[in-house]
Structure 1
Amino acid sequence: MKITAVKRSERFSLKRSIDSGTEEQRKTVRGIIEDVRQNGDKAVLAYTKTFDGISLNQMAVSAEEVTEAYRLLDDQLLAVIRQAIANIKEYHERQLQSSWFYHRKDGTMLGQKITALDSAGVYVPGGTAAYPSSVLMNVIPALAAGVERIVLVSPPGKDGRLSPGVLAAASELGIKEIYKAGGAQAIAALAYGTETIQPVDKITGPGNIFVALAKREVFGVVDIDMIAGPSEIVVLADDTAVPKEVAADLLSQAEHDTLSSSVLVTDSRKLAEAVSDEVNKQLQTLPRKEIAEASIKDHGRIYIAESMEDAVDTVNALAPEHLEIMTHSPEALLGSIRHAGAIFLGRYSAEPVGDYFAGPNHVLPTNGTARFSSPLNVTDFQKKSSIISYSRKAFETHADSISAFARLEGLEAHARSIEARNGGMTDEKSGTRQNNK
């Protein structure tokens, strides 16, 4: 890995200009979306045949397919999925917020009403791979929020089915609407609806560049979680870290994608050199060596800072998706970390612990967006309504001020709306008109 010494005045970024796609890709996605809007199921099935090589008569997953998935799934793996569900539920249920109200002395009541979204669509990558963890991380916060209708879409494999793990995970969570559809066409179906798939209010879940571009295109018609880029990890370490473990963690992200980013930030040159050697050594036996090697070559870095304080500054500038702190006292540095999607403290909190099992969500901000955004959570599936109830006393006290503010902005009708009440209000007890001027 490339080793670079950094000074405190220097700032580095993980940002990669890759999430906007090419003009040709954007044009293709817009065409697919419009086709699905106009032709519904017919268009979705045609694109499934074109892109996935599968001819389907229907998109809906049958009850028999779900039963078969349980038969094919190893009992031990099913037990692992169930334990992960319990952990993830426990964590996300703690994020629940409640409506709140308060009263002022003049009789005004103000508040905020929290309401779950009516529906959500979850995209789960598929085809040649299976991601039951994506099912859990997207569905569980929606369930915790109180979303009543959750729709799952995923591209079918060459056998025309979804993976047993994905189907079992969805079934364990009570999801009934499961469809074999992927790519931009699935996003369009969720946003606009087809004969088979009714539209949803929000779409979440990861996917390839065409899925990301489609989510960008339909945003505004529906809400989306985020436009996620390739995975990234930063390890902040001192000379107490074990080089073999640091290297393994860096490669755990590099094997995702050639565009993934793996970075070590340290104040120890000895550790930096040892980790670089370990990465090269471990690469040789990785099944996904070519992908990981390209990722490390193009997006892997080791930064040596003059002090741990400078190292923390560099981490905050990078604002990574995943941050592991592998120092003598990781908790002592936690307060200094301002920008990271998920923070893993200590030697035994390896990033895959969070990917699958611990409980926090693994749908995280990438590409530096941890500076201003958060992991997928329960509140992403809730909306808030402001509650305003003014008493007569409060209204009369503030009416002139409100009218003045309206006229300051040149909105005469706003001012008259106030004065229509303030100029001749009905006495609440007698029912007679009162002149308040």
Structure 2
Amino acid sequence: MAKIQAIRGTKDILPDELQYWEFIHNKISNLLECANYQEIRTPIFESSDLYDRGIGKHTDIVNKEMYRFHDRSNRDITLRPEGTAGIVRAFIENKMSYHQNLQRLWYSGPMFRYERPQNGRQRQFHQLGIEFIGSLDARADSEVIHLAISIFNSLNLTDLKLDINSIGKIEDRSIYQAKLQDYLQQYYDDLDPDSKKRLINNPIRILDSKNTNTQRILSEAPKISNFLSLESQKHFDAVCNYLKLLDISYNINNNLVRGLDYYNDTAFEIKTLTSKGQDTVCGGGRYDNLIEQLGGIETPAVGCAIGLERLLLLAKEKIELPNKYIDFYIATQGEKANEAGMKIMNVLHQQLFKIEIDVSTSNFGKQIKQANKKGAIACIIIGNKEVEQGLVSIKWMSTQQQESMTIMQFEHSISYLKKKILFYKSINSY
């Protein structure tokens, strides 16, 4: 019978690898907690209309990449391809603005896009997002960028480049897109196939083309910076000024537009200069119209998302994981000893010690070797002799010192055991 394998574009995260994921997650969550951002969790599937209206019908995500299906009630459902639209839906539905005008939120979880799998990009992938909802102030944009940079710095990733641009407001882009369309129409035959399709419905997305010839044509194209309203230009100048004050270097990239229709004004990407596959590790911008567009009241917002697979590729070799250890390894021999061991296990579990019980039938020598291998601070030994005498033997692994006590004494010696565990942790750098 043929083996059943993981679907192409999905990947198991095994326990050894998961340690790195948890290390990164803990680092980031601590950093965001210090900035007073609250975690939010939304469902991994939503009504497809959320993404049609939010991301835009003419985007690659909606047209080519969404995992879209009808459920048994014939509802049009999509596995979330990104996080912001779901956060906005939750913000509106749960009337979050009634409780607090400003919402600083973050999320982390799996997303789904049907793309060609490659290193750092899977069809089920993970994103961490930061959303600042409720402020038009340029300081909000700068805060989100600052936090993203801080996340990379906290993982010792400094070989990065921040690209930033202003894509203006809808009115600015409408005028600009008409001018861009006119310019590109004369080069229609020289454009790549994707750009030809975009020329009618979404010409601004051509700026993001990776085709060398199309980029050569674009070098002489009108720049969106020449079509910004005074308000948009003033906002962008303020963001750049705050970034300078925060000592964050940036590069103004006139062709940076991002792949989602809901952005306006500030758009940015953080790229690695030591690329391992995809070089963009973070992208975001301002989306002042999205909340109103999805049925809420007019509310400005800005945010970004970091691809965790790409982040892990960059950070893994710089991460020093703490040593693995367990507090107690329980070694038993004989039926009565096994029963006593289970009772001891229960006592230790209730006190939140980290433990493992040996369920093999190996001799004590082999079980103690396993205790060493698992990084046990102490090995609890219970054999026939101990059962007869109602005793428990504790072997402190680093010093090989051994002590005995009755089971009743053991149950009443929890504070003593905690102190001993802390002592051995400190001297052995656990």
How does the TM-score come out when normalised to structure 2? Answer: 0.27
Q: Which has the higher contact order (CA 8 A, sep 6+)?
A: 1
> Which is higher, the Rg of structure 1 or of structure 2?
2
How does the TM-score come out when normalised to structure 1? Answer: 0.27
